[in-house]
Amino acid sequence: MAVTIDTSAASGPERRKPWWSHLYVQVLGAIVGGVLLGHFYPELGVKLQPLGQGFINLVKMIIAPVIFLTVSTGIASVGEGKTLGRLTVKTFAYFLFFSTLALIIGLVVANVIQPGAGMNIDPRTLDAGAVAKIAEYDAKAHDTSLVGFVMGIIPTTFVSALTSGSILQALFAAILFGIALSHTGAAGAQVLGMLEKLSSVFFYLVGMLMRFAPIGAFGAMAFTIGEYGVESLVNLGALIATFYLTSILFVVVVLGTVARLCGFSIFRLIAYLKAELLLVLGTSSSEAALPSLMEKMERAGCAKPVVGMVVPTGYSFNLDGTNIYMTLAALFVAQATNVDLSLSDQVALLLVAMVSSKGAAGVTGAGFITLAATLTAVPTVPVAGLALILGIDRFMSECRALTNFIGNALAAIVVAGWENALDREALHRALNGEPAPGLAAAPVERDPD
């Protein structure tokens, strides 16, 4: 059967797709269905975990190629090492400022609201076995030392950069290959043309795989509710409410102010990314929507080199939601176990979190793993106290992933503006839902027939 691309959005009202056929509507319905199934039939909900994990694995399968193709072709198109260096400096300056600000906000909120005060938990009564397993996993998968982190970016082979599952390794290989392409003349130009055609194929593949998003969201949400139950939300409601409220205020006030300074509303950006945000909500993983985010940022007027540099790098270095969670949860554990942290202790916690939070890509549970590593490095707070929040971490993970995702989308627009690499007319059209010229060649949603 022939494969066609849906161009109905550009063909007038008479050819508009029915509301129920839009991806974001299907994902939202799947989330609701997953919650209901997990609540009323928890055993069946738990058995549906492979649906969610299978979809995430499908997306992971194409993340490295998409990053490699986008970054290498973008850098080869720029061609100037000075431009790449300037882009890198601006990107990391933005990440460092806002990730540190998120850590500080989490620290301040925890001190003001004190969600763990009055619980009077004795750490010796807690089941540290589950936390020990997390720490063991962390020791194998996350080296928090500076040398270990840097060495982890360098792949053992060029091919392994695309097969290891590490976003930073794929990015590292793509940058080197893009620089080589830009300095090899006619041969490089021929390879560049081939890669650009291959990139179109992969982004079409992204559109194909996104049609399975409702199935993945349904299975993941059914598992979450079936495994942990809605009741677990009530037990530690103060911490959950504090974290969600803090994250919402961070997005609306902090990121909203940045967006307003750039000439648009953060709510417009959220509406533009609604399908991806619902996917992140359903799977609790921002990684599931990474390829689609890169495509949409390009369509919103951000130059390909900027998108290729900012978005994948942001998945490891610009984790606003994870940073808020880390300091807030660490102080919650301290308050719940009656550990009095001095100002110097909190500053030490902040400094360690600044380092350990880097490299925690958008994988489900990565924030909890990184928090365990942070508390291990700051022995004042008992690591066993993490057993208090282990049962609700999955629900916290959803908020972390959503905040991280919005922060990285905004970062791409801001850095593109700094680099004079932002098509503001395209941005306006995208955020206002207006069809762009030539939309048939770059549709909002691709539907395989």
DSSP string covering 13-75: GGGPPPGGGSHHHHHHHHHHHHHHHHHH-HHHHHHTHHHHHHHHHHHHHHHHHHHHHHHHHHH
| Apex 28 CA angle, 23 and 33, nearest 5 | 125
Q: Give φ, ψ of 349 to 5 degrees.
A: -60, -40
pLDDT at 240: 85
Contact (CB, 8 A) for 255 and 268: no
pLDDT at 422: 92
In angstroms, the CA 198 to CA 156 distance is 25
In angstroms, the CA 287 to CA 61 distance is 11
In angstroms, the CA 56 to CA 61 distance is 9
Strand partners, 302: 422
pLDDT at 270: 95
Tell me the three state secondary structure of residue 177. Answer: helix
Report residue 357 as tokens.
């939070």
pLDDT at 437: 62
pLDDT at 105: 94
pLDDT at 92: 87
Counting other chains too, the contacts that 147-154 makes at CB distance below 8 Å and 24 or more residues apart are 149/358, 149/359, 152/359
In angstroms, the CA 47 to CA 226 distance is 9
Which residues fall within 8 angstroms of residue 283, CB to CB, at 6 or more apart?
A: 52, 55, 56, 216, 217, 220, 364
Contact (CB, 8 A) for 301 and 272: no
Q: What is the largest CA-CA distance in the chain?
A: 70
pLDDT at 439: 45
pLDDT at 357: 67
- In 3D, which of 441, 408, 398, 363 has the Cα closest to residue 273? 408
Tell me the three state secondary structure of residue 387. Answer: helix
Report residue 342 as tokens.
């001095």
Report residue 293 as tokens.
């985010």
pLDDT at 78: 65
Q: Is the dihedral of CA 130, 132, 136, 138 positive or negative?
A: positive
pLDDT at 405: 93
Domain at 23-434: CATH code? 1.10.3860.10
Q: Write down the H helix ranges in 262-342.
A: 266-272, 274-283, 290-299, 304-317, 320-336
Which residues of the chain register pLDDT less than 50?
1-14, 135-142, 361-364, 439-449
| Apex 378 CA angle, 356 and 119, nearest 5 | 110
Residue 319 Rama label (left phi>0; alpha psi -120 to 50; beta) = beta
Domain coordinates of the chain in residue numbers? 23-434
- In 3D, which of 397, 434, 102, 415 has the Cα closest to residue 271? 434
Say which amino acid occupies 82. Answer: K
Helix H or strand E segment including 200:
helix 185-210
Report residue 107 as tokens.
């620290």
- In 3D, which of 398, 368, 363 has the Cα closest to residue 57? 363
- Counted residue by residue, the chain has a size of 449
Report residue 216 as tokens.
């993945």
